[in-house]
């Protein structure tokens, strides 16, 4: 079946602009996760959804970052007033009572 | 604190040589550990999980609670094993919760 998909695959933006990143989880997966990977670093957790509620937002680095999820489907990660340090690959994963499966990521570059 | 450590950024071996990618963790409780692999230009994918106790692509990993380790091993490396390998710890219960990743080890298998 179809895996986790993310769009766009690449996004280049100017400092100060807002961006929205989209994740489509595997159908039937109730849990959805956002991670980011900055250059030369490991993956860091941002936020986790169970259904459309977010029991763990502990990884969001600042109030410029927010995310929402519609039911048990699509999620959107929004970064407001982007900064150069937001440049990273943003990864989405989904799961249902098992291991997490990852999307291909969105590479965000803030100029 | 919950932490995963992969001490080697790069491991370079010749084809046919044994491979051991090291992973140590810090977790108070019964850990659930995973190895993920990312081949060039592909998405992050699950290689194996300790509760399955299975061998995938010739790789095995044994949880050693005394040494808090979950090293990944393969007796004879192949060129197609060249990739980035991440060890991850599940922070949560009932198969949900964030993954805490190590920094990753690049495995380079030379012909």
> Per residue in B1-10, pLDDT tens?
899 999 999 9
Which of chain B's residues have a Cβ under 8 Å away from the Cβ of A101? 45-46
| Count: domains in chain B | 1
pLDDT digits 0-9 by tens, B15-70: 999 999 999 999 988 889 999 999 999 999 999 998 887 888 999 998 999 999 99
Peptide bond just before A28 cis, omega within 30 deg: no
Domain residues for the domain of B11 are 3-110
SS3 B79: helix
pLDDT digits 0-9 by tens, B67-110: 999 999 999 999 999 999 999 999 876 667 899 999 999 999 99
Q: What is the pLDDT of residue B10?
A: 97
Q: What is the pLDDT of residue B68?
A: 95
**How many whole angstroms separate alpha carbon A39 and alpha carbon B41?**
15
CATH number of residue B71's parent domain: 2.60.40.10
Residues of chain A below pLDDT 50: none
**Length reported for chain A:** 111
**How many whole angstroms separate alpha carbon B100 and alpha carbon B87?**
8
Mutant choice from B32, B37, B44, B90 vs A, greatest count of A C-beta within 10 A: B44
Give the dihedral of Cα atoms A51, A57, A62, A64; nearest 10 deg.
Answer: 10
Which of chain A's residues have a Cβ under 8 Å away from the Cβ of B100? 45
Q: Are strands A19-24 and A75-79 parallel, antiparallel or unpaired?
A: antiparallel
Tokens of A37: 């990977």
Q: What is the pLDDT of residue B111?
A: 95
Q: What is the pLDDT of residue B95?
A: 65
Q: What is the pLDDT of residue B93?
A: 66
Mutant choice from A100, A104, A107 vs B, greatest count of B C-beta within 10 A: A100
Count Cα neighbours of B47 within 13 Å in the Cβ-side half-sphere: 25
Which of chain A's residues have a Cβ under 8 Å away from the Cβ of B102? 42
């Amino acid at each position: 079946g179809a895996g986790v998909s993310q769009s766009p695959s690449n996004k280049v933006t100017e400092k100060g602009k807002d961006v929205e990143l989209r994740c489509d989880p595997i159908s039937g997966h109730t849990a959805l996760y956002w991670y980011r990977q900055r250059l030369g670093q490991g993956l860091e957790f941002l936020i986790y959804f169970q259904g459309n509620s977010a029991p763990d937002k502990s990884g969001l680095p600042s109030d410029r970052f927010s995310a929402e999820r519609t039911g048990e489907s699509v999620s959107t990660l929004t970064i407001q007033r982007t900064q150069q340090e937001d440049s990273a690959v943003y990864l989405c994963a989904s799961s249902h009572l098992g291991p997490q499966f990852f999307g291909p990521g969105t590479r965000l570059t803030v100029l | 604190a919950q932490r995963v450590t992969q001490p080697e950024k790069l491991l370079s071996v010749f084809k046919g040589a044994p491979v051991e990618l090291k992973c140590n963790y810090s977790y108070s409780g019964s850990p659930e550990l995973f190895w993920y692999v990312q081949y060039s230009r592909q998405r992050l994918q699950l290689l194996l999980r300790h509760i399955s106790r299975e061998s995938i692509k010739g790789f095995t990993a044994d949880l050693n609670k005394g040494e808090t380790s979950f090293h990944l091993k393969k007796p004879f490396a192949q060129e197609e094993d060249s990739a980035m390998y991440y060890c991850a710890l599940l922070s949560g219960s009932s198969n949900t919760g964030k993954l805490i990743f190590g920094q990753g080890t690049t495995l380079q298998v030379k012909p």
